[in-house]
Structure 1
Amino acid sequence: MTPRATGSKQRQSAVVEATVANGCYVLSGDLLIETIDRLDHDLRGARLIDISQVAQLDTAGAWFILDLERRIADADKGRLIRGATDTQRQLLDTVRASMPTEAEITEHRPTITDRIEAIGRATANAGRVALELTSFLGEVIAVMGRLIVQPRRFRMTSLVYHMQQVGWNAIPIVALMAFLIGVVLAFQGATQLRQFGAEVFVVDLIAISVLRELGILLTAIIVAGRSGSAFTAAIGSMKMREEIDAMRTLGLNPMEILVVPRILALVLMLPVLGLIADVSGLIGGAIMSWIELGVSPAVFQSRLVSNTDVWHFGVGMIKAPFFALIIGIIGCYEGMKVGGDAESLGRLTSTSVVLAIFMVIVVDAIFSIFFSLVGV
């Protein structure tokens, strides 16, 4: 009979109730983690909490009581919990000391000093990144010079592999992009030039835009998003797994094995991708000109050859190696910065793409100004 009585008593003690009487929130029973879900936080106008009838109290129950006390304290101050035993009071004090404090939320309007400080910090950070990239570029050039002196150290297999990854495998997306750009230029140009009866000049518009700017620029942007991020992710993953540290331990130079083949592959393949983009853009423009304006492919080709200076094509090809160097340096540099966690890998991969695209556009603007000044 004793075990049954004990079990019945335990089941009864597992009951918890909450009532409000005379402005007092009265809790009774066992206030434990498995019972507090039966209660709600509705104080129903109570201004005191009575726990004199609480038989058992754990940390979850103490948190429940203190949460009620905090909500009452918004209106009233003073002793809000009564009936606690010494043990319960010690537990409440311990939980109260560990609960986070609600910081007062005040609207902070940035002052002119805060704005100047933010600009200064951003400028200093940009200068630091520029200095580190310059140092990284110098290290890459030094390694390339050493490989020229000692060509047996150069890994041709790695170069060919990366040329396939960044060049051959990127041809479909680059060609499609350039073809669609040519179509859009022809369609928009025809729409605008038709108003002045100058539809034939759409050929010059397409040729100059694609050959001089858009072909190589958009190709570089696609390569930055595709290959630059791949460089950062691949090198960063090796950095996370401590494979680069293992290389150094074995006496291998990660710059020779990981960085130089990737950068050289980009420098060699980006001009080829640019050429493919130029051809695809001109084909797309010619097809749309034929459909929209009735300019036959023969007329398009004749006007393209007679009115388009070869320097328009040359300007785009001159930019290609510089864009490739920028994308490769930034992609490998960000990969080398990856720490031991996956969060830094994702963050630096995104940074690599954004920074590479930004720098490509900046350098393209510089080239445009330069060629305009020299009359090319």
Structure 2
Amino acid sequence: MIRKLSRAVRRAYHRTVDLSHPARSPLGSAVENCVVYQEGGRQPGDWAPDEAIGRTRESGRAGFVWIGLHEPTEDEFEDLAKLFGLHPLAVANAIHAHQRPKVERYDDTLFAVFKTVRYVEHEQLTATSEVVDTGELMVFVGRDFVITVRHGSHGSLGPLREALESLPGQLEKGPSAVLHAIADQVVDDYLAVTDAVQNDIEAVETAVFAERTARGDAGQIYQLKRELLELKRAVIPLHRPLQILAHEPQGVVSPEIQPYFRDVADHLARATEQVNAYDGLLDSILQAHMAQVTVAQNEDMRKITAWAAIVAVPTMVCGIYGMNFDHMPELHWTYGYPLALGVIATLCLVIHRGFRRNGWL
């Protein structure tokens, strides 16, 4: 049942193509959405945050407020922090970003940080190509509110919001259902990016082991390693926060939702295994590349040495005959010069043949 509902959320999400999802209410430069949900349904109208939470708490019906922000400033977040009683440390982390994935509890509010990732399309991998673009998504979850703070140019939650609105049974489970859907989307993006990165790794591997390109650009491998490191920083630290959410004991996360986080943790484990495997594979590709470069350099040195040995024969003979002595062998003989050239050519051919037979040339 858990996997079935989770797949339903993902299918509804992927059916939505409006990834930009413009803001629906003029609530300020950072506020993208402020929506009231009651009994699994979205309430019509454009709401200010104080009106939304007041309507939710006064109605007596089960519901919550979902406020979405994009890169808010301190001034823009100040009123929200006071309205919902958010802890100053969590607010500072949400504003300034650059946080490690984590989950922290402040009284009756959970604060979660996720690293979002996006695969950057490129025609050909170079030593400066950007492959993985990262951002951050912070989520405040209370008993009757969800506040999402997005940093970066990607990771819009508009399509996810619409997908959840098509599943009122999930929204009835409250704010923790939104937190699960966000975590599920983030981890699904990890899997999508790892699958895309695999194509780049295969291209690099093919280039390294191709017969004519054994000296492929090592910069491409290093760049892919750096981009994979960005992905690792997003994927691997999220394991512990998901375990906390799956076993959160004090009531912010609904017991109905906790098994869903275990399902997300399983998907994260797969992404982690793939990232670690790719990292090890890139190490092997880099070592193979360096070994091929070393072998190629040794072959070049052997060729240089062989030709130097061949050239040494005429150099030696010409050097001897270049000395100004009166009594040199065959110096005044008519055929002495052709004989010297013949001896030089014969010796060079013999040495050349020997080197070719031994594979040096």
- The structure with the greater share of residues assigned to helix is 1
Q: TM-score, normalised by structure 1?
A: 0.24
Query: TM-score normalised to the size of structure 2?
Result: 0.25
